[in-house]
Structure formats: structure tokens, C-alpha cells
Amino acid sequence: MKDIDLVSKNLWRKPLRTVLLLVSIFMAFLIFTLLVGFNFAYEKTLETGSRANRLVVSNKINFTQPLPISYVNRVARVPGVVDYTHQSWMGAFYQDQARSQFVGFAVDPESFLRVFSDQILMPDDQKRAFVTERTGMIVGKQVADQYGWKIGQTVPISSNIFTQASGRRAWDMKVVGIFQGPNPSDNTRTIYANYGYFNETRSFGRDVIGQVAVLTASPDINDKVAQAIDAGFANSAAETATVDEKTFSRAFLAQAGDINFIIGLVVGAAFLAILMIVGNTMVTAVRERTKEIGVMKTLGFSGPRVLRMVLGESLLLAFWGAAAGVVAGAFLMKGLEAVAPFGALDLQPIVVVIALALALLLGLITGLIPALGALRMRIVDAMTAR
């Protein structure tokens, strides 16, 4: 009989205990895969969805605070700025606020399509319609597919922030374009409405905007341009903070908290609990087999061979549980893709590599103490143990 057969039989001598351990390890790696996989997918989206020479100008207090629309022309005159646009968060939803929220911005159509030409892909006739149609909006393909919206259809878009001057919370907007991203997996759960129409009909907050997006002549002058923009509004009623697009996106997500810290805390707590459970169980399992280990050494099994077998049990247990958790996590990520606030939730290879490394570490740590005990165990002590 090969050593691997002995390891497997020892693992399953108490099936219920092994199953419970596998479930515990499975849950730890499922949590790890979902949280870390989500974070890596977001980082990949930042890399592919941000343009190196695109800056975002927002209120210095917080990007949720507005800026006067007059800032747009002042930003445009800063040396190094080659194009610009503005956008304002709408708090948009369709019919049911609890279940049908999506990202919605009011923008200046013409300049927006220029500045974000790398991200908004749709036919030229739809772009022209967005520029000319006062009540027009363009919608991401995922939103259009979800609600079955078609070109030319008028849709009531509500806001959880604003109301119309008439007291109505919904704006009737015409779907004039359906856009996609540069990659098939890009998130398109977003709509863009005409700022002029939205601004003139809302009951409060007129003539203010959320952010100004600018294109610089070169990424090399980003810092210089950002400093010049912010210096121009220093000591004003609404000072600005200008950062590159990637930094702004990170700050937006950070409103929910320090994501990396939260992920580290949750994953660390899960693995610490599993470490204690599996380690204690492995020590108990080896202690139960004290006489058997003595018999094996009597039959010629060397100490190092016994050590490898005990370590093999903990490693096999860790890898089985980890593999199941990673596979289940990958399927769950794809299932959550439809409601993700950014691009595709494909499991990145680096997450799998880290999971395998953690499984190896978990197996070694939990198996090392009982394995060393088995290695040092004398035959006479094993045979006389109670």
C-alpha cells in the first residue's frame, strides 16, 4: 500500500470530522476568493478604464459637494488643458429604488462624448441624437438589456436626491443611444442624461455641477496642470482638489471604508479561526493514533516517513477545502457580475496563486506540531501510551 493510500484512509477514518473540517476550510477560502477576487477585479478595472491624461476636478471638502458651473470655463483656460467636460451625479433609479438603482450622471453631451470617447462606444447617429435631443439619454447595454429598453423609447428616470420644480420625482427621458465599453466585459450599468434638461427642471441645486473632467496635453504635465487648477480656486468659497482619474475612482470606492483593511480583517479572522480548529483537530487525531504510529515504526516506518504522512494529511485536507472554496467563489463571482458596480468579475490568476499558497501554509502550520510529535515519538512510549 502506498503512503498516499494510508494518508487518505487516515483522513476518512472519521468521515463526519473530516467533512466538518472540509466545510470550515471551504468557507474560509470562499470568503477569501470573493473578497480578494472582488478587489483584484476592481483594480484591473481601474487600470483598463482610466485614461492617463484625464484628470477630475472636484470640491476639496468632498467630491459629493457641488461646484459652481462657472468653474468649467475657468478650468478650460488653464494652460495644458486640451479638452474638458462636466458631470453631475443624479442618484438615478427606474421604478423601484430598492431594486433598480444604477449609476446616472447629467452631462454636457457634446463635450462628454469627446472627453470620454475611449469609454463610450456607439454609432455616430446615436451620438448626434444625444447632442441634439433635449430630453435624450444614452444608456449602457447592460441597463438596456435588463429593462428591455429600445432606441426611441421614453422612460421615466427617478432620482433619490432631486425632484422637479413641479414636485414630480421622475424625468421622462428618451433613449437615443445604447453604448458599450471598449471591452466586451466592461460594466455598462450607467446612464447619461442631458445636463441642460435636468438642470432647468430640478427644484434645487441649479447651476452647480459635481465634477469637471479634463484632458491634458500629456500625462507628464498632469501634476503641473492639477496644481494650476487648484491654485486658481484657492481661498474661494469652493476650493478644488484635482487628481488623476484612477485616484478619484479609488477615493469614490473608499467612501464605503478602507476596503483593503476590511478585506484583510475579515480574511485574517476567518483563517485564524480555521487555523485553530484544524490545528487542534490534527493534534487530537494524531494522539488517537499513538499506538498505531508505534506499530508503524516497529514495522520499519522511519521517523521522517511518518512525519511526511502526518503533514500529508493536513496538506491534503487544506488543498481539498481550498480548491472547493476557490471554484465555488469563481462561480459566485460570475453570478454577481450583473449587479457589480464595475467591470467583469473574472477570477484573476493571481487570486488562485495566493489561495494555493495560503492552502500550503495552512496545511504546514496545522500539521507541523503533530508531525513533529510523531517524528520524535519513541516506540516504547507509543506502545505504553494510554
Domain ranges of the chain: 3-46+258-384, 66-237
pLDDT in tens, 21-45: 888 889 888 888 888 877 777 766 6
Q: Which amino acid is at 156?
A: P
pLDDT in tens, 207-262: 999 999 999 999 999 999 999 999 999 999 999 999 988 888 776 665 544 566 66
Whole-number Å distance between alpha carbons of 212 and 233: 13
What are residue 141's phi and psi, to 5 degrees?
A: -60, -35
Buried b (16+ CB within 10 A) or exposed e, 241-261: bbbbbbebbbeeeeeeeeeee
Cell digits for 52? 492617463
pLDDT in tens, 153-202: 999 999 988 999 888 889 999 999 999 988 777 778 899 999 999 999 99
Buried b (16+ CB within 10 A) or exposed e, 324-337: bbbbbbbebbeeeb
Checking if the pLDDT of 317 tops 80, the result is yes
